[in-house]
Structure 1
Amino acid sequence: MTENARPVVFIHGLWIHASSWAPWIEHFERAGYAPIAPGWPGVPSTVDKARTNPSLIAGVGIDDVIDHYVRVIDGLDQPPVLVGHSFGGMIAEKLLGMNKAAAAVAIDAAQIKGVLPLPLSALRATLPVFKNPANKNHAVALTAEQFRYSFGNALSEQESNELFEQWAIPAPGKPLFEAAAANFTLHSPAAVATGNEERGPLLLVMGGQDHTVPEAITKSTLKQYKHSSAVTDLIEFEDRGHSLTIDHGWQEIADASLRWLDKQGLGSQV
């Protein structure tokens, strides 16, 4: 890694701990970047601590997460590349629209304001939160069976269960309620400056078998950027589900992201 290596900030989503980015960090370090994976505000440093202290993240909303990562970014020596998964992908999009990053890779990103399709599979994947309105201010954990549907449906049951045991943590319900109400809220925290002409390039990555963020959501997200001349690209992995950043095929996604960064002139100086 060179002294002026481009920073990369990995942003996790709901129900997965930040430490799950460890293989990506090593991979991007070998490619010459300076990667970090700070967790959301309130998320403890380990999976076990996050599971035993769910109240620490209860009530955390989108704006809280944005403010947290703005502080992280402002402490870096240059604008970073953002790589986010699920709700982390939406956070990456929002930060990019705020001109806080050189580029962003949004992997199976949660819906932003303006995205209308809400497929049944997405409703079922988020039902553990929405079945109780009080969950807006609580942290909610998934069962192994719920994780299998939401994340591991394109995997064997054994691999899905292994990923659940390794990485799954409770998640705040508030971001999901905020995203669900976005199209009925004037100043929604799920709004993204999709018309920004000055932002850096954006790559949307889509898993074709994703239950939580089905392809209809990602394709609708792409349409939200049609009024901006800034680079917005889409890559689809037809056989992948929502677990694509943590399962056995994670490196295929990481390598595609690195190739795209090279194409944008943001490759590292190894």
Structure 2
Amino acid sequence: MTTSPDTVVLVHGLWMTPRSWEHWVPYYESKGLRVLTPGYPGFEIEVEALREDPDVIARLTVPRTVDHLAAVVQALDAPPVIIGHSFGGTLTQLLLARGLGAAGVAVDSAPTEGVRVTPLSQARSLFPALRSPATRHRAVGFTPEEFHYAFTNTVSEEESLAVWER
């Protein structure tokens, strides 16, 4: 007999922390599911600290991050549903490719290798991080305006600022 997954693992995107899922957690918990929101290695900080020192992002590697998340999933009694946003969506796909997870959802996933066409809007979203050769090997944060364009452009600027502050 097949059983339904009882756990949801929510994987945040870059420039975000597990707190970005704060409104999703109670929803899934109200459905009787256990919810995990693991941070990336080094992301045991709040988003305010991440904005102060975005170099935490620059120290990430994809293999280390996937291995970290894989360990979280493998420690569970049964495969979970994995949901990831942006870079978390890419990581979700990599976890599923390893055979981890009962199912996965990639919400507005960052493009994976092999995706050659980049819409102008996506390039503009990444411009703050790519605009200066001096920051080539560093991470940079987003201003509230840049965050609104890149992440929360379907809500008002006021609501976007509230999300940016969280």
Compute the displacement of 1:86 (Å).
0.5
Distance 2:57 2:161 in 1: 24
The equivalent of 1:25 in structure 2 is 25
Structure 2 CA distance for partners of 1:74 and 1:136, relative to 1, 3 Å: farther
Distance 2:134 2:41 in 1: 21
Matches within 5 A, 1:124-203: 124-166=124-166
Structure 2 CA distance for partners of 1:105 and 1:129, relative to 1, 3 Å: same
Alignment RMSD (CA, Å): 1.8
Deviation readout 1:81-116 (Å, 9 max, x if unpaired): 100001101110111111011100110011112222
The equivalent of 1:121 in structure 2 is 121
Deviation readout 1:210-236 (Å, 9 max, x if unpaired): xxxxxxxxxxxxxxxxxxxxxxxxxxx
- Segments of 5+ residues of structure 2 without an aligned counterpart are none
Compute the displacement of 1:78 (Å).
1.3
Structure 2 CA distance for partners of 1:101 and 1:23, relative to 1, 3 Å: same
- Segments of 5+ residues of structure 1 without an aligned counterpart are 167-270
Compute the displacement of 1:57 (Å).
3.4
Deviation readout 1:1-26 (Å, 9 max, x if unpaired): xxx96221100001222112122111
Distance 1:92 1:46 in 2: 22
The equivalent of 1:240 in structure 2 is none
Compute the displacement of 1:45 (Å).
3.4
Distance 2:47 2:116 in 1: 34
Distance 1:66 1:136 in 2: 23
Compute the displacement of 1:134 (Å).
4.8
Compute the displacement of 1:47 (Å).
2.3
Equivalent pairs counted in the alignment come to 163
Deviation readout 1:190-245 (Å, 9 max, x if unpaired): xxxxxxxxxxxxxxxxxxxxxxxxxxxxxxxxxxxxxxxxxxxxxxxxxxxxxxxx
Structure 2 CA distance for partners of 1:156 and 1:133, relative to 1, 3 Å: same
The equivalent of 1:55 in structure 2 is 55
Could you say what secondary structure the match of 1:19 adopts? helix
Task: Note if contact 1:8-1:34 (Cα within 8 Å) is conserved in structure 2.
Answer: yes
Compute the displacement of 1:35 (Å).
0.8
What TM-score do you get using the length of structure 1 for normalisation? 0.56
Task: Note if contact 1:73-1:79 (Cα within 8 Å) is conserved in structure 2.
Answer: yes
What TM-score do you get using the length of structure 2 for normalisation? 0.89
The equivalent of 2:87 in structure 1 is 87
Matches within 5 A, 1:66-81: 66-81=66-81
**% identity of equivalent residues:** 39
Distance 2:133 2:100 in 1: 33
